């Protein structure tokens, strides 16, 4: 049997060429895949850093809002406490007859009876006619106005809260 050395040599050259081409392609594509993986990793790192920065900014905004709300709450609590103290003092003064509430009367509604106003230190003052309220009625009026004051303070607190949340 005669071995055709030329055919074997040619087959060996073809196999060597194919193996070399395969190795070259592997090398080239391996480099491209490595570069693509590196770019992908960089992109992910940039996205992660951007998300972390955005999250930190949001946390800072939330903390600032919480601090503003706490300050606002403290302010409105102090207003409410002061109003309640003033109302309690007024109620005490009314109860001890230290203070009397009075109302202006229409000059035509006195029925022709001319009731002078409270006299001052320098003489008799004939200004507007006033009538004193019964202490129990005065207490009820103070309680009603106190409730209204508390409602207004609470309303102001709610309005400030809404403005802060929407800002």
- Residue 103 placed within a domain: yes
- Residue 151 placed within a domain: yes
| 89-113 burial code (b ≥16 CB/10 A, e <16) | ebbeebeeeeeebeeeeeeeeeeee
Burial of 83 (0-12, 13-18, 19+ CB in 10 A): middle
pLDDT in tens, 94-104: 877 777 777 77
- Residue 74 placed within a domain: yes
pLDDT at 107: 65
Dist. CA 38–CA 26, nearest whole Å: 18
- Residue 79 placed within a domain: yes
42-64 average pLDDT score: 96
- Residue 32 placed within a domain: no
- Residue 154 placed within a domain: yes
pLDDT at 22: 85
Rg (CA), the chain: 46
- Residue 49 placed within a domain: no
pLDDT in tens, 120-163: 454 455 567 778 878 888 888 888 988 998 899 899 989 988 98
- Domain count along the chain: 1
Residue-number span of the structural domain to which 79 is assigned: 68-113+128-167
With DSSP H G I counted as helix, E B as strand and the rest as coil, what are the percentages for the chain, rounded to 5? 75, 5, 20
Phi-psi sector, 4: left (phi>0), alpha (psi -120 to 50), beta: beta
Is the pTM above the cut of 0.85? no
- Residue 11 placed within a domain: no
3-class SS at 127? coil
Percentage of residues of the chain with pLDDT beyond 70: 86
């Amino acid at each position: 049997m005669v071995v055709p050395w030329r055919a074997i040599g040619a087959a060996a050259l073809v196999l060597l060429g194919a193996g070399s081409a395969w190795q070259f392609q592997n090398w080239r594509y391996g480099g491209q895949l490595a570069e693509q993986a590196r770019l992908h990793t960089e992109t992910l790192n940039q996205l992660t850093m951007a998300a972390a920065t955005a999250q930190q900014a949001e946390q800072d905004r939330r903390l600032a809002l919480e601090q503003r709300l706490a300050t606002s709450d403290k302010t409105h609590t102090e207003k409410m406490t002061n109003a309640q103290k003033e109302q309690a003092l007024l109620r005490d003064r009314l109860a001890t007859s230290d203070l009397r509430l009075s109302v202006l009367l229409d000059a035509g509604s006195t029925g022709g009876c001319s009731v002078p106003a409270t006299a001052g230190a320098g003489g008799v003052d004939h200004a507007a006619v006033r009538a004193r309220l019964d202490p129990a009625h005065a207490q009820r009026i103070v309680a009603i106005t106190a409730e209204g004051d508390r409602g207004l303070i609470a309303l102001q607190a709610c309005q400030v809260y809404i403005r802060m949340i929407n800002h």
